[in-house]
Amino acid sequence: MLKPRFFFRTTNAIAYRYCNASLNKKWATHRHRLWDEFNDPAKSRIELLSNVPSSINRDQWAGFVAYRLKSSTVKSCRRNKEIRRKQTMPHTSGSKANSRRRHELFLKTGKNPTREKMFIETHRRKDGSFVNDEARTIVEQIESTQGNSNESEIFSDDIIGKVLGKEHSGRVRCMGMGAAPSNTFKNIKQRLNELNHSSSSFGASSATFSYLQQEVTHLKSQLASTLTALKAYMISKEGRVPEQFIGLFASQPHPSDDAESEPTSPVDVRGSSGSSYQNQQANT
């Protein structure tokens, strides 16, 4: 019962942003209800200040009353009230957050719901009827536009954007709390860059592979030349290849020099010079 409400299968940053937005919303709702309960237009400022709720510090209550009675706050409240009065299209979500409803639809269908799917689900009753004629008209526009589009990605000019218009700052329709244009939509430049990157990635990877092949061939050639020179140097100085280096020359990449045909066993080739010295003594 608790897991669907408090379990986040997402990044810490997104979960933090959602929880922070949820706390802010609940705190604002609590302040609004508190003022509705204790405010009385018939009472004076002194009477409001003296009517302190039992769970609130007197100084905090005095600051809260002063804020609510400010002319700018009163003006803002009246403006918000007028805006709410103009909202003539209710929804059927109740207290359930859109993020929870989106997750439920994902579990039901196996894919993330689009914004148009969310709009239809939240403005249609269980019996199939819509909340009002305005919602029905919008859904008809969505369905007619949806028939000519196969887009499932969420961006500013998707079906909802075309039917309902541009989003306001700080929120995205049908996406729930915490969603904003800056963290939800991909701008057109980014989308074009992704397309260009995907179309050129194959050619770039082929060129890189060819270059790496050439580098490997060049390094193998250098290594073979170095080992050949080292082996010749050891034989000229020591008369043999020391035991600890036998394995190194045995795995030499490209044997192509006559010196590499010399025996790699620790045989002392100086014996030939000693034999020639003995032959010279015998001849004298």
- The answer to the question of residue 144 being in a domain is yes
Query: Is residue 168 in some structural domain?
Result: yes
**66: pLDDT confidence band, cut at 50, 70 and 90?**
very high
Q: What span, in angstroms and rounded, lies between the C-alpha atoms of 269 and 275?
A: 11
**Reported confidence tier of residue 105, pLDDT bands at 50, 70, 90:** confident
pLDDT of residue 50: 94
Query: Which of 232, 160, 176 has the alpha carbon at shortest distance from 17?
Result: 176
Rounded distance between C-alpha atoms, residue 38 and residue 16, angstroms: 33
> Which of 188-197, 227-236, 263-272 has the weakest average pLDDT?
263-272
Residue 78 and residue 125 in one domain? no
149 and 74 in one domain? no
Question: Which candidate, 47, 144, 128, places its Cα nearest to that of 92?
Answer: 128
pTM of the predicted protein model:
0.49
Q: Give alpha helix (H) positions in the chain.
A: 3-6, 12-38, 45-50, 58-68, 71-86, 98-109, 115-122, 133-146, 159-164, 181-184, 188-238, 246-250, 271-283
Give the percent of the chain with pLDDT over 70.
Answer: 73
Identify whether 257 is part of a domain.
no
Domain identity same for 49 and 117: no
Q: Are residues 154 and 217 in the same domain?
A: no
Quote the CA–CA distance of 227 and 245 in Å, as a whole number. 10
Query: What's the pLDDT band for 6 if we cut at 50, 70, 90?
Result: low
Q: How far is C-alpha 134 from the chain's CA centre?
A: 37
**Confidence (pLDDT) at 40:** 93
Does residue 195 belong to any structural domain of this protein?
no
- Rounded mean pLDDT of 155-172? 78
Cα separation of 78 and 83, whole Å? 9
CA distance 22 to 178: 8
Helix (H, G, I), strand (E, B) or coil at 130: strand
Averaged pLDDT score across all residues of the chain = 76
Identity of the highest mean pLDDT range in 65-69, 138-142, 203-207, 242-246: 65-69
Provide mean pLDDT across the span 88-99: 81
pLDDT class of 261 with cuts at 50, 70, 90: very low
| DSSP string for 230-273 | HHHHHHHHHSS--GGGHHHHHT-S---SGGGGS--S---TTHHH
Domain presence at residue 279: no
Q: Tell me, yes or no, whether 42 and 111 share the same domain.
A: no
Higher pLDDT, 177 or 83: 83
| pLDDT (0 to 100) of residue 271 | 43
Of residues 60 and 84, more confidently modeled:
60
Q: What is the C-alpha to C-alpha distance for residues 125 and 102, in angstroms, rounded to an integer?
A: 17
pLDDT band at 264 (very low <50, low <70, confident <90, very high): very low
What's the pLDDT score for residue 75? Answer: 95
> Do 103 and 182 reside in the same domain of the chain?
yes
Residue 200 has pLDDT above 80, yes or no: no
196 within some domain: no
Is there a contact between 253 and 219 (Cβ–Cβ < 8 Å)? no
Place of tokens 């036998």: 246
Domain extent for 29: 12-86
- Position 269 in a domain: no
Distance, in Å, from the CA atom of 41 to the CA atom of 49, rounded to the nearest integer, reads 13
Task: Look at residue 266 in the predicted model and tell me its pLDDT.
Answer: 43
Q: Looking at the 3D structure of the chain, how many domains does it have?
A: 3
**Residue with the larger pLDDT of the pair 236 and 204:** 236
Q: Tell me: the pLDDT tens digits for 35-49?
A: 999 999 999 999 999
Q: Is the pLDDT of residue 63 over 80?
A: yes
Per-residue pLDDT at 274 exceeds 80? no
Q: Are residues 179 and 103 in the same domain?
A: yes
Q: Does residue 133 lie in a domain region? A: yes
Instruction: Give yes or no: residues 171 and 213 share one domain.
Output: no
pLDDT band at 64 (very low <50, low <70, confident <90, very high): very high
The token duo for 172 is 């995205």
The residue-averaged pLDDT of 122-146 equals 86
Q: Are residues 113 and 171 in the same domain?
A: yes
- Please answer whether residues 149 and 159 qualify as being in contact, where contact means their C-beta atoms are separated by less than 8 angstroms: yes
Do 66 and 17 fall within a single domain?
yes
